[in-house]
Amino acid sequence: MPSALIAFVRTVDAVNYRVGRVAMYLFFVMGAILLASTASRIFLGVPINWALEMSQFLLSAYYLLGGAYALQLDQHVRMDLFYSQVAARKRAITDAFTILFVIFYIVVLLMGGLSSTKYAIQYGQKNYSAWAPPLWPIKSVMTVAIFLMLLQLISTFIKDIAIWRGKPIT
């Protein structure tokens, strides 16, 4: 494999690893917000209007930003009935072929995310609720996460081709 592709794979893997590890902590932030909301409601009798929506935004960021990390660690759900018993080279060929369909889907999703984020910024789109938060921050996170997933898919594709050629990238 050319050294530029190896550098690309290592860079993308390093970035997605770090982003995924940081995203894991969003779950604790979300838990703290929900705990504060519950405590406020029980002890002070005052509900926190923004807590539910903020926890939904954090949960969305958590699983979107963690998607590329899960792909990198090969932790996505798949039907392993026959797949796990196939030789590594044949799995790499199968993965390299099928990942092209996923890349196409993610590119279309990225185009929609860019359009939606642009719209939210341009028109100051807000959520229809009592809190009415602006939607551009979560839409921006969504678009960045989809882009990171696309980069990870390309990295995985390159690694599959390397395995197929008999020279895996480590």
Q: What is the pLDDT of residues 84-116, one digit of tens each?
A: 888 989 999 999 999 999 999 999 999 999 999
DSSP state string for 29-79:
HHHHHHHHHHHIIIIIS---TTHHHHHHHHHHHHHHHHHHHHHHTT-S---
pLDDT for 146:
98
> Residue 133: which H helix or E strand, with range?
none
Q: Is the pLDDT of residue 117 over 90?
A: yes
Summarised one tens digit per residue, pLDDT across range 41-78 is 999 988 888 999 999 999 999 999 999 999 999 888 77
Do 53 and 131 contact (CB within 8 A), yes or no? yes
| pTM (predicted TM-score) | 0.91
pLDDT tens digits, residue range 122-159?
A: 999 999 988 999 999 999 999 999 999 999 999 999 99
Q: What is the model's pLDDT at position 84?
A: 80
